[in-house]
Amino acid sequence: MVVRNKVRLVAQGFYQKEGIDYEETFAPVARLEAIRILLAFAASKGFKLQQMDVKSAFLNGFIEEEVYSAKFPDRVYKLRKALYGLKQAPRALRHSPRAAIGAPMVSSHTRYLAPPPSNPNRGGDTLIVQIYVDDIIFGDSSHTFVSSFAEQISREFEMSLMGKLQFFLGLQIKQGPEGTFVHQAKYTRDILKKFDMGNSKPMTTPMSTNMALDADEDGEAFAVCLCARYHASPRTSHRQAVKRIFKYLKVTPELGLWYFSEGSQMLTNAGCRIDRKSTSGTCQLLETSLVSWSSRKQSSVSLSTTEAKYIAAASCCSQLLCMKATLSDFGLRFGRIPLLVDSTSAIIVAKNPVLHSRTKHIDVRFHFLREHYEKGDIDLVHVVTQNQLVDISTKPLEFGAFACLR
């Protein structure tokens, strides 16, 4: 969906050298997990999200370094303010005097304002704001606070009010009375068209259960995560695997995530699992809304399944703590967050100061899982393998099992 076309004067920032043309770089960029958390929270509270962006945002910041730009054959310009293309432009916008003068809600990626949801009678409304460089998502339970926020920001910057949130960072967003639906149908069709896969034979699953991308993988391939390991020197089998993913996307462009309204806010780690090559998969839910997931190969070699799952659980714990901090900006408070693990031995190691020949070598940094269990931040819960949701991100499945988990 093309909103508008633009033409800009852009600096060739790729010629800049660190320490000479710029010192520091920074951009207030929210993670996609934070975006999905915001969408799920807003849907559960009935907030209608709006969108706006700063017009010519990077031109508002002043730069400290001495930078010259030659835009015409006989002209060289010394820049006082930032220009699109400069590496320090996002940081200059973030530290511009006008941004400092603006409302305090623009001082961080995510900001929760006014009385928290748990105290709705303290007066005022609840406003939530998400910032991605110069794009702003915001919403509240009534339109009055939204209007005052937009008016206040517009006094400091020239803003473009885009109305109801419909398209953001490649995500197509449909807000309705029953909840919010997020999908990437347009992006999927564009990718299929780009690689001439629009007329290919469709597939019901993204990977074959007997596919072997490498002689050492023994068929334990799982779509994108595994294919990404070979992008530097792909072989024919790797290209075939990627094509199968495209063929699967052809029949599922409209699939997405539903964030229902009238839901509660209970943070859960729905699974923590590894395959036999120590590739860990995790997913995190806010009540029944999937907001975060991962599938990645572990950085260290594990000597046992218990060790590998203990390391995977530690990774899950760190993600949960990050999400907990994000949700605290929305005024939400949590007790013990359930972390589901399908290994009783890993749970025992986490709950007790076990130290014997098979666990004594585990790196100290992974023992923070035990620390946060003892502090009451998480609760380790056993889940049987058949009910492990993250199987969909760690192994190829038959269509029946795949469709059930999907």
User: Does the structure show a pLDDT above 60 at 124?
Assistant: no
The predicted pLDDT at position 276 comes to 47
Is residue 305 classed as helix, strand or coil in its secondary structure? helix
| Residues 203 and 320 reside in one and the same domain | no
Task: Tell whether 207 is covered by a domain.
Answer: yes
Q: Report whether 40 contacts 291 (CB < 8 A).
A: yes
Give the mean pLDDT of the chain. 74
337-341 and 378-382: which strand pairing? parallel
The predicted pLDDT at position 358 comes to 59
Task: Tell whether 49 is covered by a domain.
Answer: yes
190-197, Cβ contacts within 8 angstroms, sequence gap of 24 or more: 191/246, 191/249, 192/246, 192/249, 192/250, 195/246, 197/243, 197/246, 197/247, 197/250
Q: How confident is the model over 259-277, as a mean pLDDT?
A: 58
Residues in contact with 391: Cβ distance below 8 Å, sequence separation at least 6, in sequence order: 271, 273, 281, 385, 397, 401, 405
CA–CA distance, 223 with 243 (Å, rounded to integer): 10
* Stretch among 67-71, 327-331, 362-366 having the lowest mean pLDDT: 362-366
Domain of 99 in residue numbering reads as 13-30+41-168
| Residues 189 and 55 reside in one and the same domain | no
User: Does the structure show a pLDDT above 50 at 108?
Assistant: no
| Residues 315 and 207 reside in one and the same domain | no
Q: Report whether 152 contacts 105 (CB < 8 A).
A: no
Q: Report whether 106 contacts 54 (CB < 8 A).
A: no
Q: Classify burial at 216, counting beta carbons within 10 Å of its beta carbon; exposed 0-12, middle 13-18, buried 19 or more.
A: exposed
Give the tokens for residue 37: 């958390």
| Residues 46 and 93 reside in one and the same domain | yes
| Residues 217 and 320 reside in one and the same domain | no
The structural domain count of the chain equals: 3
Q: How confident is the model over 115-120, as a mean pLDDT?
A: 36
Q: Report whether 134 contacts 46 (CB < 8 A).
A: no
The full DSSP string for 245-300 is HHHHHHH-TT-EEEEESS----EEEEEEEE-TT-EEEEEEEETTEEEEEEEEE-SS
4-34 pLDDT, tens digit per residue, is 777 888 888 888 888 888 888 888 788 888 8
Largest CA distance in the chain: 75
- Of 168, 197, 212, the one marking the end of a domain is 168
Name the residue with higher pLDDT: 148 or 211: 148
How much of the chain, in percent, has pLDDT values that exceed 90?
0
The predicted pLDDT at position 344 comes to 81
Nearest to 281 by CA among 265, 291, 269, 266: 269
The predicted pLDDT at position 220 comes to 32
| Residues 45 and 97 reside in one and the same domain | yes
| Residues 164 and 189 reside in one and the same domain | no
| Residues 242 and 291 reside in one and the same domain | no
The partner residues of 279 in beta bridges, in order of sequence, read: 297
Q: How confident is the model over 188-204, as a mean pLDDT?
A: 84
153-181 pLDDT, tens digit per residue, is 777 777 888 888 888 888 888 888 888 88
Q: How confident is the model over 80-103, as a mean pLDDT?
A: 73
Question: What torsion do the CA atoms of 376, 379, 380, 383 make, to the nearest 10 degrees?
Answer: 180
Task: Tell whether 258 is covered by a domain.
Answer: no
Task: Tell whether 256 is covered by a domain.
Answer: no
CA–CA distance, 268 with 278 (Å, rounded to integer): 23
Give the tokens for residue 248: 């699967």
Task: Tell whether 179 is covered by a domain.
Answer: no
CATH of the domain at 334: 3.30.420
| Residues 18 and 155 reside in one and the same domain | yes
Q: Report whether 104 contacts 111 (CB < 8 A).
A: yes
